[in-house]
A and B are shown apart, each in its own frame.
Chain A
Amino acid sequence: MIPAKNEVNTIGQIVSEIKELFPITVVVIDDGSNDDTAIVALNAGAIVLPMTFSLGAWGAVQTGLRYAEQYGFKIAITMDADGQHKVDSIPTLLEKFEDKQSDVVIGSYIERGSPSRHLAWSFFRKLSGINLEDLTSGLRAYNHKAIELLSSKAASLLDYQDLGVLLLLHRAKLRIVETPIFISPRINGHSRIFSSWWAVSRYMLYTSILCLAHFKLFK
């Protein structure tokens, strides 16, 4: 599952690379792009889900998950469209499912740099009670149980594929594990969350409220 918004420069290469290496279905969710993202992805061999209007990162991912649920896929892997995630991380994620001890595998990249960002994440770890290294990674693998839960109505009002999703999984007692991955610098585009100070503050507030709303449910 690759949610893509105006990623015409990278999407084709990612899709064909996956197609070359693995016999899996590639679904690109075109989140209201203005460019040729959808056509390029289609030509590269992906199934394209065209959104009528942009639903944002999580809305697009959920579309893919609903597709997976409808067609009975056992595992869904989500990945960013900007070329950050390497295609060879896919088997690393899948390996973690082998012992059947987990429902969700997160490909986590522990960021160096920016101490303020580290502070923010450790604040959210405390607040949410979820002890994972990388709370926002877009490289995740969900098994059928997780797909079922996340494609439900309960997850429809979330905005990002991050803490809100993790809290929902945590509350449903699904087991989340992490595996370290490497990421390449973004080829194009920029983070949707960290685009400006205003966006960051809004994100911090939104996520804090989300954590507080679920606070009592954790001990």
Chain B
Amino acid sequence: MSYQLTSSFLGFFIAGIILWLIRRDLLHSRHAIWWLVVAISIVLLGIFPTVVDWLATHLGVHYPPTLIFILGMGFILIKVITIDLHQSDLESKVRRLAQRLAILEAEKNNK
């Protein structure tokens, strides 16, 4: 029972931080959805850690913790690549804005 208590406590703690960040408007609502899902999964896994064992046996994974690591790393990879995509999009927008600004400024100066 005691390890389940620890994992639920950890789950609630992490979820609490995420919810607090969302409430303080430090996270854009678009990212908030992702992090809410993460918070909920952490709480559920914290309360019912045996879900992993159950899932692992049904997926044919002999050592359940690997499943958690693989899934976790997979989701982190997805998240990181979305950040880079978003970042590239922003870079392109900032560049085009700077270019537009330069053209507008030239118009103003040469009048």
**A residues whose Cβ falls under 8 Å from a Cβ of B:** 29, 42, 47-53, 55, 59, 62-63, 66-67, 70, 153, 156-157
Contact = CB atoms under 8 A, between A and B. Distances in A.
30 contacts: A29-B102, A47-B106, A48-B106, A48-B109, A49-B102, A49-B105, A50-B102, A50-B106, A51-B99, A51-B102, A52-B101, A55-B95, A55-B98, A55-B99, A59-B95, A59-B98, A59-B99, A62-B99, A63-B102, A63-B103, A66-B100, A66-B103, A67-B103, A67-B106, A70-B103, A153-B96, A156-B96, A157-B88, A157-B91, A157-B92
Contacts of B101: 52
Interface centre among B95, B96, B99, by most chain A C-beta atoms within 10 angstroms, is B99
Given A50-B109, A55-B99, 10 more contacts: A29-B102, A47-B106, A50-B106, A52-B102, A55-B98, A62-B95, A62-B99, A66-B103, A156-B96, A157-B92
Nearest to A53: B98
A191 B27 CA distance: 43
A16 B62 CA distance: 77
A32 B57 CA distance: 61
Interface residues of B, number: 15
A52 B96 contact: no
Main secondary structure of the interface of A (DSSP, over half): mixed
Contacts of A52: 98, 101-102
A105 B98 CA distance: 28
Contacts of A156: 92, 95-96
A47 B111 CA distance: 11
B105 A50 contact: yes
Nearest to B100: A66
Interface in B52-111: 88, 91-92, 95-96, 98-103, 105-106, 109-110
A144 B27 CA distance: 44
A62 B88 CA distance: 17
Nearest to B93: A156
A153 B89 CA distance: 10
Nearest to B103: A67
Nearest to A67: B103
A55 B96 CA distance: 10
A51 B101 CA distance: 8
**Closest CB pairs A-B (n = 3):** A63-B99, A49-B102, A156-B92
B88 to A, nearest CB: 6
Given A156-B92, A157-B88, A51 B98 contact: yes
Contact of A153 (B92, B100, B109, B110): B92
